Homo-oligomer: A and B are copies of this chain.
């Protein structure tokens, strides 16, 4: 079934070009992935449509995922491209309910990049990997001429093993399910924004960048049948929920007043005309589970340092239109659409 809201006009492959919206995590990216990459590479694992592929190997079920990191600036409040590259990939492994095993790292470095910055990035990756309990087992280094890159890009790939009986997937949200988030929304996006020269904006907000595998391990131990786990990175909570609604063929009803957002993030977003629901997160997850497991899951999440501010923010509903709707603080209701265009380029 085609979602007409998503694909009203096909990509113009003969005359079109890639633009910044194709990397934003929103509607344009979903279209590029669907019409170009997924069409060419079609296979049962990619067609799962998750941020990681799950497959059986002798001895168990494994997941594999990859992520490129082009964040600008390289060093930001609360992290840097190195720690982010580890956290992002560990998290995509963990969102399958899996225990991360090993990572690889591919570096594309621009000629002239200071070795001191490279060391800082690499040391930060190493520390993040140690903390998450994973090893960077293989790597690759390429160098491009000055002006053909931007300091450093890192692509990390991760594998992990899924415990028996655990199988969260973006297509498993069912009407009646509870929708939870593990903490405040938008911290990473606003932290990055605060560093951009042209915005001339300062804030005390740190990126939430963190490895969520410990939190997930506690969650699946308590509720092995959690239906969906996903981290709302590029495109934020709003876009990620729309992806899940699309995959599962359901609608969602959120309660704005229940969505945790730091006061400083709200203030910064208001100043900039942005919406925290579309701002990126790098240390938060969305969990969707059966209504009767909600309290137990929430309690386990709140017991973990990375889930202290966890909240139940709404319900999955039947909806052939697959709309994500929100009861606003003022008692109204609005549709929370996919990110269209770009809110902020190179956020991760």
Q: Which residues of A74-130 are within 8 A (CB) of B? A: 101-102, 104-116, 118-119, 122-123, 125-126, 129
Most chain B CB within a 10 A radius of its CB, from A12, A104, A108, A147: A104
In contact, A18 and B111 (Cβ under 8 angstroms): yes
CA distance A115 to B197 in the complex (A): 31
Q: Which residues in B have their C-beta under 8 angstroms from that of A33?
A: 139, 141
**A164: shortest Cβ distance to chain B, in Å?**
11
Residues 9-30 of chain A, each 1 if its beta carbon lies under 8 Å from chain B, else 0: 0011111111110111000010
Q: Which residues in B have their C-beta under 8 angstroms from that of A66?
A: 104-106, 138-140, 155, 157
Question: Which of A52-60, A259-267, A270-278 forms part of the interface with chain B?
Answer: A52-60
Rank and list the top 4 A-B pairs by shortest CB-CB distance, nearest first: A59-B59, A23-B143, A58-B59, A53-B137
Residues of A bordering B, CB below 8 Å? 11-20, 22-24, 29, 32-33, 36-37, 40-41, 43, 45-46, 51-53, 55, 57-60, 62, 64-70, 101-102, 104-116, 118-119, 122-123, 125-126, 129, 135-145, 147-150, 153, 155, 157, 159, 161, 345-346
